[in-house]
Amino acid sequence: MSARTLTYGAAIGEALAEELARDERVVLFGEDVEIHGGIFGVLRGLRQQFGARVFDTPIAENLIAGMAVGAAARGLRPVAELQFADFVLCAADEVLLKAGGWRYTHDGAYTLPLVIRAPSGGYGFGPEHSQCPEAYVMHTPGLRLAVPSSPADVKGLLKSAIRSDDPVVLFEHKLLYPMKGEVPDGEHLVPFGQAAVRRAGDALTVVAWQDMLRRTLKAAETLAAEGIEIEVIDPRTLNPFDWDTLLTSVKKTGGCLVVEEAFRTLGVGAEIGARLMEDAFGYLDRPFKRLAIPDVPVPTAKHLVDQLVPSAETIAATVRGVLA
Which of the following is catalytic: 129, 134, 172, 260?
129
Which of the following is catalytic: 19, 61, 81, 134?
61
Let me know: does 276 contact 256? Beta carbons within 8 Å. Answer: yes
Q: Which residues pair with 279 in a beta bridge?
A: none
Within 8 A by CB and 6+ apart from 309, the residues are: 123, 261, 293
Instruction: Note if 61 is an active site residue.
Output: yes
Within 8 A by CB and 6+ apart from 15, the residues are: 154, 155, 156, 158, 159, 162
Instruction: Note if 139 is an active site residue.
Output: no
Residue 266: CB atoms within 10 A of its CB come to 13
Q: Length of the chain, please? A: 324
User: Kind of pairing, strands 196-199 and 231-234?
Assistant: antiparallel
Please provide residue 144's backbone torsions phi and psi, each rounded to the nearest 5 degrees: -100, 150
Residue 277: CB atoms within 10 A of its CB come to 11
Query: Which DSSP string do the residues of 272-315 spell out, in sequence order?
Result: HHHHHHHHSGGG-SS--EEEEE-SSPPPSSHHHHHHHSPPHHHH
> Within 13 Å of residue 193, how many CA atoms lie on the same side as its CB?
4
Active site residues: 61, 129
